[in-house]
Amino acid sequence: MTALRYPPARWAAPAAVCWALLLGAFALVCTLRDRALFIRNADQAGPVALNWVVVGTAVLALFSVAAARRHRAHQLTTGLIWASCALSAVSGFTLLMDVIELAFNQRLDSGIAAVHHLLGLLGVLLLAANARALRPEGRTRYPAVPAAPSPAPPRVQWAARAGALAFVPYAAMKMFWAMGGRFAGVGRAELQEASRRNGASEFWLTLESWGIDGTVVLAALGVFLLLGLVRPWGQVFPHWTLALRGRPVPRWLPLTPALIGAMTLGPYGLLGTTYTALGSAGLVSFPRGDFPSVTDCLEVSWIGNGAFALYGTALALAAHSYWVRTRPGAPAGGARDRATGRPGPRPERPTAHHR
Q: What is the DSSP string of 7-54?
A: S-HHHHHHHHHHHHHHHHHHHHHHHHTT--SS-S-TTS---GGGHHHH
Domain ends where: 140, 164, 188?
Answer: 140
Mean pLDDT for 133-151 is 62
Q: What pLDDT is recorded for position 136?
A: 58
The verdict on residue 148 lying in a domain is: no
**What residues does 165 pair with on adjacent strands?**
none
The verdict on residue 209 lying in a domain is: yes
Domain ends where: 111, 140, 169?
Answer: 140
**Cβ-proximal residues to 265 (8 Å cutoff; 6+ apart), any chain:** 96, 308, 309, 311, 312, 315
CB-CB neighbours of 145 under 10 Å: 12
**What's the pLDDT tens digit per position in 235-258?**
988 888 888 888 888 888 999 899
Contact present, 88 and 82 (Cβ < 8 Å): no
CB-CB neighbours of 33 under 10 Å: 9
* pLDDT exceeds 50 at position 300: yes
Contact present, 198 and 105 (Cβ < 8 Å): yes
**What's the pLDDT tens digit per position in 118-130?**
898 889 888 888 8
The verdict on residue 81 lying in a domain is: yes
The verdict on residue 354 lying in a domain is: no
- Taking alpha carbons only, the member of 259, 237, 243 closest to residue 316 is 259
Provide the domain count of the chain. Answer: 2
40 plus 69 within the same structural domain: yes
Which range of residues forms the domain containing residue 326? 154-343
pTM for this prediction: 0.74
The verdict on residue 326 lying in a domain is: yes
Distances (CA, A) of 61 to 114, 120, 131: 21, 12, 11
In angstroms and rounded to an integer, the radius of gyration of the C-alpha atoms of the chain is 22
126 plus 166 within the same structural domain: no
Q: Which amino acid is at 81?
A: I
**What's the pLDDT tens digit per position in 152-166?**
999 999 999 999 999
